[in-house]
Amino acid sequence: MDERRVVITGMGAITPFGVGARKFWENLGQGNSGATLITAFEVADLPTRFAAPVLLDDRELDPLIENQKSLKTMSRSAKFAVIAAKEAVDDAGLETNRLNPYRFGASLGAGGLGTWDLDHSQQTLQIIMDAVDRSAGQQLDYAQVWRNTLDRLHPLSPLKSLSNIPTAHIAINHNARGNCQTITTACTSSAQAIGEAYRQIKFGIADVMIAGGSDSMINPYGLVAFSLLGVISKNNAEYRTAARPFDRRRDGFMLGEGAAIFVLEGLEHCRRRGAEPYGEIIGYASTCDAFRLTDEPPEAWGSVEAMKLALDDARLNPESIDYINAHGTSTKMNDKTETLAIKKVFKAHACAIPVSSTKSMIGHLVAAAGAVELAACVLAMKNQVIPPTINYLEPDPECDLDYVPNHAREARLNVILSNSFGFGGQNACLIIKRAEGIAHGA
């Protein structure tokens, strides 16, 4: 089959460090942390009271959305996606009116969305509370709950909770009429979305794709849900340094939120319009552990095979990888199993590869994690600097790779692997390569 080369020509991000890919790198490259105590809602009685939020509320986010009428159908996550997509398209210098719209698509990873946004969930709770009041506090009048819901919830609020609405807004805003898809595979969502977009171009189905992911789970439901599952750090006393992937003292991840969106296009398309790419996507693979919902198999077969298949797709041997951006959640299980998986794939070379987790700085962005971490890789490659794993103090005997502890490191970065693993046994690996001179025939 005729295969096309796929390059990244635009990038946008909204992260705990603010709006824009530039701000993201300015902080990431410095080893800064987005950790903060949560003040946007009541957390006094929750086991976890910190996160790495995007420190912008609706009053600050809404003016960044061009189509103001669309705001009423946008969750917080959708706003992140639309803002980052605009940045990416502008950054790529893409004149979307000059594209064949049916060969221009979008592929986004998405998570829980508006059902759990703070305003919506608190309004729903109020409706339920009112139904209690009307039955003298004795019991819940369910009929009243549903009547109140119909009468008082905004009729468009259900649209905020549909996973494909951010993708639809992006398609509308940029006139992408080709294949538009939304992938919801938990923490692997956006890595898979980017990988599938890469395949659309590689196999000649699309010329240009807007690809990435967005998520916002720093809300009462998100905190409670991840607490129930026992995967989030409870180290409130040391919240500034609690996200500590691969460290012996780690006790779970810190929640983050945000989005990263890319413009991907075929190399020839990029050359024709004279764009300058950030890099080339040369490998992608996705596997499923088919083992247990949240446990990784002790032998790490799914993540091992995803890395191997991505290397095969890139036609590279393991020694070619200059840096691995790990999934590195800071949970006991992930970091140990990912270390094992890297050792199985890279064998003796594993200890020579720098492996870092940017989740130590920005937390776990769940459905957006893979996209934001690919943005970290693209920026690392551009700047030839490896972002560190911060908060790393005590080595774990079961995690014995070079985790680039605490300080960014200058390095020659030609090829980078980004890992994303998620609940449901989902694994996705992306490999990017430096593209200097590629636009001019190199």
Partner 1 sequence: MKIKLTEDEIFATIAAGVAEALRVDAAKISMASRLFLDLGAESIDILDIRFRIEHALGFKIDQAALIRSLGEGLSAGQIQEQLTLGSLVAYVRQQLQQQP
- Which residues contribute to the site for partner 1 (CB under 8 A)? 68-69, 72-73, 154-156, 159
Closer of 154 and 347 to partner 1 (Cβ): 154
Cα distance between residue 385 and residue 54, in whole Å: 24
Nearest distance in Å: CB 305, partner 1: 44
Nearest distance in Å: CB 175, partner 1: 16
Q: Within 10 A of 86 (CB to CB), how many other CB atoms are there?
A: 18
Nearest distance in Å: CB 80, partner 1: 20
Closer of 128 and 159 to partner 1 (Cβ): 159
**Is 250 within 8 Å of 330 (Cβ atoms)?**
yes
Nearest distance in Å: CB 68, partner 1: 4
Nearest distance in Å: CB 408, partner 1: 43
Nearest distance in Å: CB 155, partner 1: 4
Spatial CB neighbours of 370, under 8 Å, sequence gap ≥ 6: 109, 187, 188, 189, 190, 191, 192, 193, 194, 213, 418, 420, 428, 430
Question: In this structure, what token pair is assigned to residue 380?
Answer: 């690392």
Nearest distance in Å: CB 261, partner 1: 24
**Is 49 within 8 Å of 38 (Cβ atoms)?**
yes
Q: Which residues are catalytic?
A: 187, 327, 364
Closer of 26 and 119 to partner 1 (Cβ): 119
Closer of 58 and 402 to partner 1 (Cβ): 58
Q: Within 10 A of 124 (CB to CB), how many other CB atoms are there?
A: 18
Closer of 134 and 152 to partner 1 (Cβ): 152
Backbone φ and ψ of 55, nearest 5° = -85, 50
Closer of 64 and 288 to partner 1 (Cβ): 64
Closer of 68 and 139 to partner 1 (Cβ): 68
Nearest distance in Å: CB 72, partner 1: 6
**Angle formed by the axes of helices 369-383 and 189-202, nearest 10°:** 70
